[in-house]
Amino acid sequence: MTGWTWEYEGYVPADERLRESLCTLGNGCFATRGALPECGADEVHYPGTYVAGCYNRLTSEVAGRQVENEDMVNVPDWLPLRFRRPGGPWLTPDTATVLDHRQTLHLSAGMLERRTRYDLGEGRALTVRQQRLVHLADPHLAALRTEFTAEGFSGPLEVEAALDGGVTNSGVARYRDLDGRHLTHVHTGTAAPDTVWLRCRTRTSDIRIGMAARLTADAPLTVRHELPRAVQQMTLDLMPGSTSTVDKTVALHTSRDPAISDPLNAAVDRVGRAPGFDELLETHLTAWDQLWRRADLDVPGEAGRILRLHLFHVLQTLSPHTADLDVGVPARGLHGEAYRGHVFWDELFVLPYLNLHFPEVSRALLRYRHRRLEQACTAARSAGRRGAMYPWQSGSDGREETQQLHLNPRSGRWLPDHSHLQHHVGSAIAYNVWQYCEASGDTEFLHTKGAEMLLQIARFWADSAVYDETLGRHRIRGVVGPDEYHEAYPDAKEPGLDDNAYTNVTAAWVLARTLELLRSLPEPRHRELVERTGLDGGELELWEDVSRTLHIPFHTDVISQFDGYGELAELDWAGYRARYGDIRRLDRILEAEGDSVNRYQASKQADVLMLGYLFSPAELRSLFRRLGYRLDEDTWRRTVDHYLHRTSHGSTLSGLVHGWVLARARRAEAWKFCQEALRGDIADIQGGTTGEGIHLGAMAGTLDLVQRGLTGLETRGGALRLDPVPLPELSSYGFALRYQGHWGVRLRLEYERLEIAVPVSDASPIDLRLPDRTVSLPPGETVRLLLPD
């Protein structure tokens, strides 16, 4: 690990899946895992290419039930390129002796380089060097340069390149009982002497896929078509010490792409027009250079190097090209098949970063949600509710994609999955709309699509709330909170919990913000919205009432995760750690023992503490005050302590949220959790999950930790608010951001000083608000502030 490179030395089969995920290359439209081109899919290797928004739905028989699942499709593999001496076996690290092996991910260049020396015996060796890119300037191109150098011998080397349409979705072991054959009608052909093509379509979503590959080398080519593969062959004449080069250039289109008539014709035309590798690399480097300038981040030490890797993967998944697509935030990036490529609530951790660098991408991701607003309203009606009930897992069309059953690998049992009751995802969408508009100043979106989403989400919460005369408060029953461990009360016949604190507080926030927005709308737009939605004064009165009377449960002067949480049993944490070591997935351990985590005060990840992640201390106190509760520092500190000792951290998001909250509540302990968040994927802390795809929310969240968490940065009320809490381990760093039309605003935190510089422009001054002062900073000016102790 150096400043701008990520290197792996030596060939370690057990680490290949992890390396493939972390060496994935992408451009926002598609991404390809960092698998070795000479290796096919097996227990060690898993090449995969995924197109943003390309889903397919299949039905499988599981545990005697017909189960329907929609997956992000592993499209045809463009990587295959293998080689051998005539009459010998194809050379791979698994079948030949490897003398040296190194993979280097060049972050600044968006390029993956590998060097491998194969031992051919009798003092002979073959060095293979490859450079791979998924083009950032042209989002439909990828290229692979392979250089072969003979050592101690001369003679022929057979090289075979292919496009492979026989791939399946089989990269996650626990999904292998499910049908993963998503491609059908595979055809191949020859477009030119140096170019082959492959076309196919997805089985049910009927997305057509076209791919074309051009092979360039100083040797004659032969072509053969062996369905489902298109194969190009050549024989290189190697000389000792000299290098022979083979360039493979690939174009990929689908029928979801705009401005094309046919994906196959588009792919063949594009690869035919594509320049050579050197020119492709030059334009690719320029595009990455521009992207890095917009996302400038200067953090010293190991933390800075890891953050740069995280930023690289965020930008590969959600690049400026994403602004032109109808896609959401895939929880595991475009890096693998875990979670089936679905869209959860992870945008809650991703958009706050993008808002201040690539607001056009944030807007596109919110439009994905708006396009599925009608489906969310249909789901609410089907559940007997008004408004919009967004799905916990979303895919192509916005219906609920949460699996009906999930497999516990420890017990081997398929179990009912009730996570679809996490209706708090609607509040996350509303929060993202509000945050985006505050950061960007995009009142047009707020008054149109944003207002429409907020109104229907608020309507759902008001209709879900039931008045309890005994309490004199409204209650929201039958939900699941962010914790995810607790899906039901002990021994209950039906799933769902009552008055999850996080759900109720965020629902109250949505109602309050929506009422505020409706009051501020221009009269003509307000009238349109009322006419379109049937909103009336009585409904608004109900919203006002519910936003002030939702029940928040407490026990022993601590905010309860849900009503009745304080009556659950305490878990023998020390005993379980002694027995199992890693108890992050405590739910699986207990179920395998015939027990249930529903019986215990034990959380998978932050639930109540998520409130301290979303809201500043002042805003959180204000929310509780609106609800009629007093939340003082002692109560919040007790709440943090309570859950800190009862959380197994079975999610990569848990360390992030705890680090964020502890930076203000218990600073001495914050860095431990920040480190866990930073190392979540590179160290595969969750035990093998990173090989199935990165955790995009956690990666983006670490970027936002240094951007907003430790600076106390808020975009609220037309001002840039700052309340820094620098950690001793991370107290000197800088970054640039984009705020309400100001490009390249630079912030630098230096121990007890804060410097802010606004580039020259014709924009209005920025209103800066710190706890002890307010500063108006016009373009072209720099301010240096001493921070209070």
List active site positions: 484
Residue 235: exposure state from Cβ atoms within 10 A (0-12, 13-18, ≥19): middle
- Write the CB contacts of 352 (distance below 8 Å, at least 6 apart in sequence): 435, 439, 704, 707, 708
Q: List Cα–Cα distances, 759 to 354, 442, 716, 718, 741, in angstroms.
A: 20, 21, 22, 19, 11
Q: Cα–Cα distance between 136 and 146 in angstroms, integer?
A: 20
Q: List Cα–Cα distances, 11 to 4, 40, 102, 192, in angstroms.
A: 22, 16, 8, 37
376 alpha carbon, distance to own chain's centre: 22
Phi, psi of 292 (to 5 degrees): -65, -35
Q: Which helix (H) or strand (E) holds 264?
A: helix 263-273
Beta strands in 203-287 (DSSP E): 208-217, 222-226, 229-238, 243-254
Beta carbons within 10 angstroms of residue 764's beta carbon = 12
Number of alpha carbons in the 13 Å side-chain half-sphere of residue 33? 33
Q: Which residues of 274-289 are buried (b: 16+ CB within 10 A; e: fewer)?
A: beebeebbeebbebbe
Q: Cα–Cα distance between 275 and 186 in angstroms, integer?
A: 28
Q: List Cα–Cα distances, 472 to 466, 467, 545, in angstroms.
A: 11, 7, 11
Beta carbons within 10 angstroms of residue 131's beta carbon = 19
Q: Cα–Cα distance between 677 and 672 in angstroms, integer?
A: 9
Q: Cα–Cα distance between 698 and 704 in angstroms, integer?
A: 10
Q: List Cα–Cα distances, 586 to 233, 560, 601, in angstroms.
A: 52, 20, 12
Determine the length of the chain. Answer: 789
From 520, 509, 542, 722, select the one nearest 625 (Cα to Cα): 509
Bridge partners of 377, per DSSP, are none
Residue 411: exposure state from Cβ atoms within 10 A (0-12, 13-18, ≥19): middle
DSSP 3-state of 11 = coil
Q: List Cα–Cα distances, 303 to 317, 706, 773, in angstroms.
A: 21, 10, 31
Phi, psi of 406 (to 5 degrees): -135, 150
Bridge partners of 746, per DSSP, are 736, 757
Q: List Cα–Cα distances, 595 to 63, 91, 163, 598, in angstroms.
A: 21, 50, 49, 9
From 638, 27, 32, select the one nearest 320 (Cα to Cα): 27
DSSP 3-state of 106 = strand
Q: Cα–Cα distance between 365 and 351 in angstroms, integer?
A: 8
Question: In this structure, are residues 606 and 657 in contact, taking their beta carbons and an 8 Å threshold?
Answer: yes
DSSP 3-state of 314 = helix
Q: Cα–Cα distance between 320 and 324 in angstroms, integer?
A: 8
For Cα atoms 260, 263, 269, give the angle at the middle one, nearest 5 degrees. 80
Which tokens go with 768?
A: 């800066």
Q: Which helix (H) or strand (E) holds 514?
A: helix 501-520
DSSP string, 285-304: HHHHHHHHHHT-EE--HHHH
